[in-house]
Amino acid sequence: MSKPVILTGLRANNDLHIGNYFGALLPMVDMANRRAGEYQINLFVPDLHSFTTPIDHAALYAQTMHNIKIFAAAGLDLNNPHLYMYRQSYVSAHSELTWILDCFTGFGEMSRMTQFKDKSGKLDENRISVGLFNYPVLMAADILLYNATYVPVGEDQTQHLEFTRDIAERMNSRFGQLFTVPKPVAEQHKFFGKDQGLRIKDLADPAKKMSKSDETGKGVIFLGDDPAIAAKKVMSATTDSVGAIRYDRENQPGICNLLQILALLSGRTVQDVAGEWDGKTRYGDLKKAVAEQVQSFLTAFQKRLSDIDEAALHAKLEASESTMRTQADKTLLSVQQAVGLRPAA
């Protein structure tokens, strides 16, 4: 490969909400569009990761394709030749390399993974899959197959990235230079910029972040919500009894959340928006302004989503997957030769 590789994953399933959109999706699209050319951008869909915990398998493929369309609707440049979008399960080297790396990974290493302990603690013992246990090994294969240098990770994934570096160095030390070792977490943050973005909170309970796990859905604005219903959710948002609008995270989290949403949807800074509303006493007016922005945003976004050229999207996927198979198979073959599965070159 002539260019260094930036690799990141797109969600394969789950409903996306506006917190996902502004906190993760738009920054990813912006990064890909800006850096493609200087770097090879690998945007892969980790569909194999999607059922490490129980899901509706009948809906997985449709959800995967829907979320790929969402990234296109968010402005991802599908015509950029330096940007590749592909589905993990369509490149078999991901699964093959995972098994090889599994055999050089310690049980204790995986047992110490914080995400495994957190997620398995919420499941009945009989529903904890081996896939959930060795998920970090599959993630390592996703990265190492393409010799990716930069992989943007959140705090919940830093441990997995460090494992990827460890297993790459372990294999390189034993068998020679097989893999590019991705940059450590500190350098990743320096390269991408440590995320300091606004965190949209739940409308009904502004003490917690907006999350798809909210069973009622009353505090969450999903990208697929009917715009009018989403506006009603805003009008029912929890505020306080202070009686004056202030950007005070500690004492007025609900008001702050509405100001943040308004800032994001209107493309302004939160300081600008907060200054405009500072000291006003009519909470209903603020809610109405936010509700109108939410309704307008969802209406426009859903129109872009419905206008996506699905044939062009499939063509992009198929072309990218063909190129990625070639790149991944080259890496896999060198590993297979090193461990004795294929004759040495």
CB 46 within 8 A of CB 52: no
Instruction: Check whether 197 has a pLDDT greater than 70.
Output: no
288 as an active site residue: the answer is no
CATH topology of domain 5-197+310-338: Rossmann fold (3.40.50)
Residue scoring higher pLDDT (316 or 199): 316
Please tell me the distance from the alpha carbon of residue 39 to that of residue 148, in angstroms, as a whole number: 10
Domain coordinates in residue numbering, the chain: 5-197+310-338, 227-305
pLDDT digits 0-9 by tens, 95-152: 999 999 999 999 999 988 888 887 777 777 777 888 888 999 999 999 999 999 999 9
Residue 153: name the closest of 119, 183, 123, 129 by CA: 183
Band of the pLDDT at 167, cuts 50, 70, 90? very high
Instruction: Check whether 271 has a pLDDT greater than 80.
Output: yes
Instruction: Check whether 215 has a pLDDT greater than 70.
Output: no
Annotated active-site residue in 122, 190, 201, 209: 209
Annotated active-site residue in 3, 69, 119, 218: 119
209 as an active site residue: the answer is yes
Which structure tokens are listed for 296? 């307008």
Model confidence, pTM: 0.89
Instruction: Check whether 263 has a pLDDT greater than 80.
Output: yes
Which structure tokens are listed for 161? 């990235």
Q: Quick check: do 5-197+310-338 and 227-305 share a fold?
A: no
CATH topology of domain 227-305: Tyrosyl-Transfer RNA Synthetase (1.10.240)
pLDDT digits 0-9 by tens, 309-326: 999 999 999 999 999 999
Instruction: Check whether 89 has a pLDDT greater than 60.
Output: yes
Annotated active-site residue in 3, 69, 212, 218: 212
